[in-house]
Amino acid sequence: MYHIKNLEQYLTDYKYSVEEPELFWEGIAKNNFTWQKKWDKVLSFDFSKPEFKWFEGAKLNITENCIDRHLKENGNKTAIIFEPNDPKEKEEHISYNELHARVCKFANVLKSQGIKKGDRVCIYLPMIPDLAISTLACARIGAIHSVVFAGFSSNSLATRINDSECKMVITSDGSFRGNKCIDLKSIVDEALNSCNTIETVLVAKRTNSSVSMNTPRDKWLQPLLDAAKDECPIEIMDSEDPLFILYTSGSTGKPKGMVHSTAGYMVNTAYTFKNIFQYEENDVYWCTADIGWITGHSYIVYGPLLNGATTLMFEGVPSYPDWGRFWEVVQKYKVNQFYTAPTAIRAIAKENISHVKKYDLSSLKILGTVGEPINEEAWQWYYSNIGQKKCPVVDTWWQTETGSIMIAPVPSAIEPIPTFATLPLPGIQPILVDADGALIKDHLVEGNLCIQFPWPSIARTIWGDHQRYKDTYFSKFKDRYFTGDGAIRNEKGYYRITGRVDDIILVSGHNLGTAPIEDCINEHPLIAESAIVGYPDDVKGNALYGFLTIKSSINGNEHEELYRQINKLISDKIGPIAKLDKIQFCSGLPKTRSGKIMRRILRKIACKDADNLGDTTTLLNPEVVDEIINHAV
């Protein structure tokens, strides 16, 4: 039941998973993992609280399943290949035996620094082996890791550290990305000026840049690792103990710390990894995401290692030293499964095809995409040029909140078609509902995508704010999980994800809430009000358009300067990813009579669809609409 081999099996397993969900997941859990104690009950749940418990009563440690379990037969197999940013630097091949030793050493260092089960540890590292190793080290001793993408600003880092009251930060002196060298440690130092729960900062050496060490808080990692023992017993965890927190943007307010638990997450990520990538012994698998995002957690670290796979970690970017880098790496390691984001495909497709043609890509078997809808052109380019029309393109839909892939064509069973994520994996029950929550049974009608039955890797709560968890995902439609995405379904039952239906915009596959960006802009002394909307962009999927009103009138040159200042403010407070691509200064923003900004209108203007605005006469200030249209950028 663990490995879906063909369509017939997919259909049988799917039917069984809907009719007997507990028996279905129990069958997978029982035979493919090491348990210190089996569960008393497979599932209990209550959508109204909401509460979900999987494999209740079971005891385990996920790192025993990711590492120890493979040592006897596969100790010398490569677990992690590390490909550095600079192709001239030597790569690393870390065997399962070595991974075991390094995770144990790291875990012993954490313990020696006073980290205990349940403590939160913030990890702010570039894509170097210590990132994977430190997450596993936390899991080994039952500490809850909170990995923060190392492209986030000091302000974003501080917000995340404070929200979950982390005791430790693990970082490095710096990071390499393309031809840039980023001073990570000073970003941490700045963040910690506004954090008071951090007791220790462990600093890995990566760039050898000079950093200031604030003793006794800051400690170099290497000497501690050198002195640590390479054996560390596992902490026995309950199935429902939190494994990690990972922050994702909300449509309003501060980021949401999604909490994932141990056993359900383990079973679900392992099962989906095996089936989406049809991983076979000796395959080399590569996901280009950063471990700072859920894709990296589930499909660089946990999913592959749970299956005893060889997983590649890449430190660099697709354009360095030139746009052929991905394919050079595929050729170098004979990569069999390649998983990336549509935004990367579009960026590469714009460049000269000779960057692709130079390399031997014949090892590839499966191509995956994730993070945003993939447009037909990008899909076809990927399928023809990278897969040479031989590899299925698996469009995987899922979320930070879902923990694992939910809807995607399992390649052994379903023939992919462009722009459709196609069918749910066994165990996943998607539905479409209209604005009132009524079930949509028809085809080719757009609806709100919901999931009507729990699955093992559903996030259990938002750290410190269970009410927000309930309000965001379980209140709009009763007794179902609301994804925040819209979708349509064709006559074969295939799902096509149409995009967010809330105020989250996907820029290069990264979720950005509009409210936090607006709050940041509004802090500028000259800005009275702002509204951010998305508009289509060839490479990034969506780009950001800001409509801003200023407090006092300024002249043309000053506009330029203000534009620069605003993007600097956003870069510093949120991160460069949230910078605005277009800014329009307006005398007012269109509002309803109750004072709400009508983003729908601004969205149409930004998308150059202003002929189609609908009725604007009920606005409080209809006159501003023409002015905004006339001066649109």
Closest distance between ligand WTA and the C-beta of residue 598, in Å?
A: 23
Name beta bridge partners: 583.
546
Strands 180-182 vs 175-177: parallel, antiparallel or unpaired: antiparallel
Please tell me the distance from the alpha carbon of residue 251 to that of residue 516, in angstroms, as a whole number.
8
CB of 4 to ligand WTA, least distance (A): 19
Comparing CA positions, the residue from 489, 98, 460, 433 lying closest to residue 264 is 460
- Nearest residue relative to ligand WTA (C-beta): 400
What is the smallest separation between the CB atom of 388 and ligand WTA, expressed in angstroms? 22
Interface with ligand WTA (CB under 6 A), residue from 398, 463, 469, 477: 398
CB of 510 to ligand WTA, least distance (A): 7
Under the criterion CB under 6 A, does residue 315 sit at the interface with ligand WTA? no
Q: How far is the CB of 373 from ligand WTA (least distance, A)?
A: 4
The two tokens of residue 275 are 């089936």
397 binds ligand WTA per the rule CB under 6 A:
yes
Distance, in Å, from the CA atom of 283 to the CA atom of 601, rounded to the nearest integer, reads: 50
503 binds ligand WTA (CB under 6 A): no
- Output the six-digit token pair for 19: 């009719």
48-56, 277-285, 393-401, 593-601 -> range binding ligand WTA (CB under 6 A): 393-401
Distance CA 315, CA 131 (A): 11
Regarding 372 and contact with ligand WTA (CB under 6 A), the answer is yes
Question: Crossing angle, helix 21-32 and helix 262-277, to 10 degrees?
Answer: 80
The DSSP letter of residue 336 is S
- Kindly identify the residues of this chain, within the stretch 237-256, that bind ligand WTA according to CB under 6 A: 248
Residue closer to ligand WTA by CB (options 277, 293) is 293
Nearest to 531 by CA among 589, 445, 604, 453: 589
- For 7, 14, 339, 420, 444, the CA distances from 494, given in Å and listed in that order, are 15, 14, 21, 7, 10
Instruction: Name the minimum Å distance from CB 556 to ligand WTA.
Output: 38
For the bound state, the minimum distance from the C-beta of residue 235 to ligand WTA, rounded and expressed in Å, comes to 28
Which of 63, 307, 310, 400 forms a contact with ligand WTA (CB under 6 A)? Answer: 400
Contacts (Cβ under 8 Å, ≥6 apart) of 115: 121, 138, 141, 143, 167, 168
Nearest to ligand WTA of 430, 590 (CB atom): 430
Stretch that binds ligand WTA, among 3-11, 356-364, 392-400, 521-529 (CB under 6 A): 392-400
511 binds ligand WTA (CB under 6 A): yes
Q: Quote the tokens at residue 352.
A: 């000269």
**506 is a site residue for ligand WTA (CB under 6 A):** yes
Q: Which of 531, 401, 540 is nearest to 463 (CA)?
A: 401
Determine which residue in the list 396, 422, 429, 508 makes contact with ligand WTA, applying CB under 6 A. Answer: 396
Q: Can you tell me which of 78, 399, 448, 567 binds ligand WTA, judged by CB under 6 A?
A: 399
Buried b (16+ CB within 10 A) or exposed e, 211-228: beeeeeebbebeebbeeb
Judged by beta carbon, residue 26 or residue 485, the one nearer ligand WTA is 485
Owner of token pair 């043609």: 357
Residue 370 contacts ligand WTA per CB under 6 A:
yes
Give, in degrees to the nearest 5, the angle at Cα 577 between 138 and 154: 50
Q: Which of 21, 242, 308, 373 lies at the binding interface for ligand WTA (CB under 6 A)?
A: 373
Region near ligand WTA per CB under 6 A, out of 55-63, 195-203, 365-373, 607-615: 365-373
Q: Which of 294, 548, 550, 574 binds ligand WTA (CB under 6 A)?
A: 294
Contact between 290 and ligand WTA per CB under 6 A: no
DSSP 138-207: HHHHTPEEEE--TTS-HHHHHHHHHHTT-SEEEEES-EEETTEEE-HHHHHHHHHTT--S--EEEEE-SS
With CB under 6 A as the contact rule, the residue among 67, 349, 497, 548 that binds ligand WTA is: 497
The residues in 402-441 that bind ligand WTA, with binding defined as CB under 6 A, are 421
- Of the pair 413, 527, the CB lying nearest ligand WTA is at 413
What phi and psi, each to the nearest 5 degrees, are found at residue 393? -95, 115
Q: Is 302 in the site for ligand WTA (CB under 6 A)?
A: no
Q: Which of 79, 80, 134 is nearest to 104 (CA)?
A: 134
Nearest to 165 by CA among 121, 218, 211: 121
Q: Is 26 in the site for ligand WTA (CB under 6 A)?
A: no
CB atoms within 10 A of CB 396: 24
**Distance (Å) of CA 370 to CA 291, 341, 407, 464, 588:** 14, 5, 11, 29, 38
Cβ 495 to ligand WTA, closest distance in Å? 9
Nearest to 158 by CA among 118, 128, 198, 212: 198
Where is 450: in which H helix or E strand? strand 447-451
Q: Does 68 bind ligand WTA (CB under 6 A)?
A: no
Binding pattern for the stretch 319-358 against ligand WTA, x by CB under 6 A and - elsewhere = ----------------------------------------
Name the minimum Å distance from CB 499 to ligand WTA.
Answer: 6
395 binds ligand WTA (CB under 6 A): yes
Q: What is the Cα–Cα distance from 496 to 482, expressed in whole angstroms?
A: 16
Residues 471-490 binding ligand WTA (CB under 6 A) are: 483-485
Q: Which of 185, 480, 500, 573 binds ligand WTA (CB under 6 A)?
A: 500
- Shortest Å distance, C-beta 33 to ligand WTA: 23
Place of tokens 């800051």: 218
Size of the site for ligand WTA (CB under 6 A): 22
Under the criterion CB under 6 A, does residue 58 sit at the interface with ligand WTA?
Answer: no
Nearer to ligand WTA among residue 144 and residue 405 (C-beta): 405
User: Considering beta carbons, is residue 96 or 477 the nearer one to ligand WTA?
Assistant: 477
Instruction: Give the residue with the Cβ less far from ligand WTA, 64 or 401.
Output: 401
Q: Which parts of this chain interact with ligand WTA (CB under 6 A)?
A: 248, 293-295, 370-373, 395-400, 421, 483-485, 497, 500, 506, 511
